[in-house]
Chain A
């Protein structure tokens, strides 16, 4: 079974993000494997344990230094990597076309895992676009994944705490959510092994993908300043508890 995992090289969410020229972020911050993609890689590794002769291939569209993120995915269980190299910031249409073309060129996917979203652009589209290009079924925000009688059985989290279970023909595309698993982080011996795993680098231009009819581009980037108005809750512990309940009911409206 060939399991492809689409991963993204994203800025660390804990970094101090500075915007330059009102259009881009200062990229002199730590970049790492998109956290949702960690769940995707971990799930791929779990499938590989169950299904003999499986191979996990991490595919990433990004700058040359995204190789570091592919190494992270390989330390977590991917067997090899493909870096589709570009210095451009691509929209989800181009990204999906590039990842699709790279997978088609490489082999024959049985499952494609992605994260449910990337924490930088939060587009939540790429998995659906990849599915459409392959004509594969797609589900997202997966919380459980299983294979039964040659079909994928996936429970997804919906809004409001609901879940829905799907049965998908394979090959399929699955967007991993946080509930899917606990990421299996690498030990030092895993990191050592990952250094020897191969990464194939392909220039984006060489894939000669058909441009999408439409495109989306960032025209301005502004920081979102969230003003906080802390207030101190005083009084006896009983008064404080009462006030917290009042706030949760009347202001935050999270309690009935």
Chain B
């Protein structure tokens, strides 16, 4: 006879584990299945794990600000569980958003005011005082080094920055998912690894369980797709689900670089997280006194949509596989080299290449589906790591409400934030929504 659970969660990354944890706390018997050997080993491990509040929508800002409170209270959130691997640490560096044409920072500031996010306005002297090696010229628009104008001398200056003292990053994203797994297990949750889902079974418009690659069938009346970059493949396995989504997801290849900080700048201990739309990069400190350089997806950069299985197998060739490219290494490092002119850029690329589970408008889909009992927390688009604990709670409450009869498509579930006491209309994340043109259509969300 097949094993039976109340809910099966496909994926054990930083979104899949808190959904399990919260469902367990509500009394559900859960099983997470993941094709990898441990929690957080997929695209979670490749996340830059940045915790910052600036998003292009007010709901986005509110969700991130709520999430911040969970990271601050990590041990309590996890019920003071012990993890033999140790606990992930939130590093509060503070977060600088440079005012530039690359960000709609006025809109962000308006959302900060509406949500109550603490911030300061910094002029150029203040930025320079906090970040001594910085060059505050305006380099806009973002270009690629292949373009000769990339090397033009800048003439204008930036106007300043918005600084949030609350912001930073989590030092080990894979470990954070592992911590949540241990917390879920303490509440009765089960986890199965090296287990690849090949089918989502259903009968009469209602999900009945999953089938694994080795033929094992596991039954549950609730299945949650948290497959990360594989989310579109999981949706396609479930009857009518893919077709029922107006917003689709696909996997986008992304490169993040590690470049040594200038020797006279202790970036690891003195540095800030910084979003710099003027050069299309964001940065945070990394162990080894490195700059971690992410890309804010400027229009001039190529978008590489890939098959996740081929990508992780190292197939597809230059620019499509899981190896950094020299072109993108130079693009991101030289862009930052304009901002930090003493940054020395090695010849050999170093960093991480992974995938975003990207939605059509770079805003996630946190929703039910057209198949009864099948839910999804997908399309995280490289910008949801920080929200994971809140999303876990929100998804668990959404699932519980729908299972108790709520028609979420007609009367969207209203989620009460635990810390910031706002109410979020979860319909904002609906699969049926039209593309949200308020989005930045980038990792900024």
A: residues with CB less than 8 A from B are 12-16, 26, 28-33, 35, 38, 72, 183-189, 191-192, 195
A12 touches B349 (CB 8 A): yes
> What separation, in Å, do the CA atoms of A188 and B339 have in the docked complex?
9
* Pairs A–B under 8 Å by Cβ, sample size 22: A12-B326, A14-B324, A16-B314, A28-B318, A30-B323, A30-B324, A30-B325, A30-B326, A30-B329, A30-B349, A32-B326, A72-B347, A184-B344, A185-B260, A185-B344, A188-B334, A188-B338, A188-B341, A188-B345, A191-B334, A191-B337, A195-B151
Q: Known contacts A187-B343, A188-B337, A189-B341; decide if A14 and B314 are in contact (CB<8 Å).
A: no
Checking B260, B344, B347 against A33 with a beta-carbon cut-off of 8 angstroms, the contacting residue is: B347
- B185-244 with Cβ < 8 A to chain A: none
A191 touches B326 (CB 8 A): no
Nearest 8 CB-CB pairings of A with B:
A188-B337, A30-B326, A185-B344, A28-B318, A32-B347, A185-B346, A16-B314, A33-B347
Q: Which residue of A lies closest to B344 (CB)?
A: A185
Q: Known contacts A30-B325, A191-B337; decide if A185 and B314 are in contact (CB<8 Å).
A: no
> What separation, in Å, do the CA atoms of A228 and B202 have in the docked complex?
42
B262 → A minimal CB distance (Å): 8
Q: Which residue of A lies closest to B317 (CB)?
A: A28
Q: Which residue of A lies closest to B325 (CB)?
A: A30
A16 touches B323 (CB 8 A): yes
Q: Known contacts A30-B326, A32-B326; decide if A191 and B348 are in contact (CB<8 Å).
A: no
Q: Give chain B's interface secondary structure class.
A: loop
A29 touches B323 (CB 8 A): yes
A36 → B minimal CB distance (Å): 12
Checking B314, B325, B342, B347 against A38 with a beta-carbon cut-off of 8 angstroms, the contacting residue is: B347
> What separation, in Å, do the CA atoms of A173 and B427 have in the docked complex?
71
B66 lies within 8 A of chain A by Cβ: no
> What separation, in Å, do the CA atoms of A145 and B314 have in the docked complex?
42
B397 lies within 8 A of chain A by Cβ: no
Q: Which residue of B lies closest to A26 (CB)?
A: B317
A187 touches B318 (CB 8 A): no
How many inter-chain contacts with C-beta < 8 Å in the A-B complex? 62
Checking B322, B329, B345 against A187 with a beta-carbon cut-off of 8 angstroms, the contacting residue is: B345
A35 touches B348 (CB 8 A): yes
Which residues from chain B contact A186 at a C-beta distance below 8 Å? 344-345
B361 lies within 8 A of chain A by Cβ: no
B256 → A minimal CB distance (Å): 15
> What separation, in Å, do the CA atoms of A28 and B321 have in the docked complex?
11
B: residues with CB less than 8 A from A are 151, 260, 314, 317-318, 321-326, 329, 334, 337-338, 341-349
> What separation, in Å, do the CA atoms of A64 and B5 have in the docked complex?
62
> What separation, in Å, do the CA atoms of A30 and B349 have in the docked complex?
9
Q: Which residue of A lies closest to B314 (CB)?
A: A16
Q: Which residue of A lies closest to B326 (CB)?
A: A30
Q: Which residue of B lies closest to A34 (CB)?
A: B347
A64 → B minimal CB distance (Å): 16
> What separation, in Å, do the CA atoms of A94 and B352 have in the docked complex?
39
B139 → A minimal CB distance (Å): 11
> What separation, in Å, do the CA atoms of A20 and B369 have in the docked complex?
46
Checking B260, B334, B345, B349 against A14 with a beta-carbon cut-off of 8 angstroms, the contacting residue is: B349
Of A15, A16, A188, A192, chain B has the most CB atoms within 10 Å of the CB of: A188
Q: Known contacts A28-B317, A30-B318, A192-B151; decide if A13 and B341 are in contact (CB<8 Å).
A: no
Of A12, A13, A28, A33, chain B has the most CB atoms within 10 Å of the CB of: A12
Of B321, B324, B334, B344, chain A has the most CB atoms within 10 Å of the CB of: B344
Which residues from chain B contact A28 at a C-beta distance below 8 Å? 317-318
B337 touches A14 (CB 8 A): no
A183 touches B337 (CB 8 A): no
A43 → B minimal CB distance (Å): 16
> What separation, in Å, do the CA atoms of A35 and B350 have in the docked complex?
14
> What separation, in Å, do the CA atoms of A40 and B344 have in the docked complex?
18
> What separation, in Å, do the CA atoms of A12 and B342 have in the docked complex?
25
> What separation, in Å, do the CA atoms of A28 and B342 have in the docked complex?
32
A185 touches B349 (CB 8 A): no
Which residues from chain B contact A192 at a C-beta distance below 8 Å? 151
> What separation, in Å, do the CA atoms of A26 and B314 have in the docked complex?
14
A71 → B minimal CB distance (Å): 10
Q: Known contacts A14-B323, A187-B343, A188-B338; decide if A32 and B348 are in contact (CB<8 Å).
A: yes
B337 touches A187 (CB 8 A): yes
> What separation, in Å, do the CA atoms of A12 and B326 have in the docked complex?
9
Which residues from chain B contact A35 at a C-beta distance below 8 Å? 347-348
B167 → A minimal CB distance (Å): 27
Which residues from chain A contact B341 at a C-beta distance below 8 Å? 187-189
B154 → A minimal CB distance (Å): 12
Q: Which residue of B lies closest to A30 (CB)?
A: B326
Which residues from chain B contact A32 at a C-beta distance below 8 Å? 326, 347-348
Which residues from chain B contact A189 at a C-beta distance below 8 Å? 341
A30 → B minimal CB distance (Å): 4
Which residues from chain A contact B329 at a C-beta distance below 8 Å? 30
Which residues from chain A contact B260 at a C-beta distance below 8 Å? 185
B85 → A minimal CB distance (Å): 15
Which residues from chain A contact B318 at a C-beta distance below 8 Å? 28-30
> What separation, in Å, do the CA atoms of A15 and B314 have in the docked complex?
10
> What separation, in Å, do the CA atoms of A17 and B137 have in the docked complex?
41
A32 → B minimal CB distance (Å): 5
B343 touches A188 (CB 8 A): yes
Which residues from chain B contact A14 at a C-beta distance below 8 Å? 323-324, 348-349
A119 → B minimal CB distance (Å): 10
Which residues from chain A contact B346 at a C-beta distance below 8 Å? 183, 185
Which residues from chain A contact B345 at a C-beta distance below 8 Å? 185-188, 191
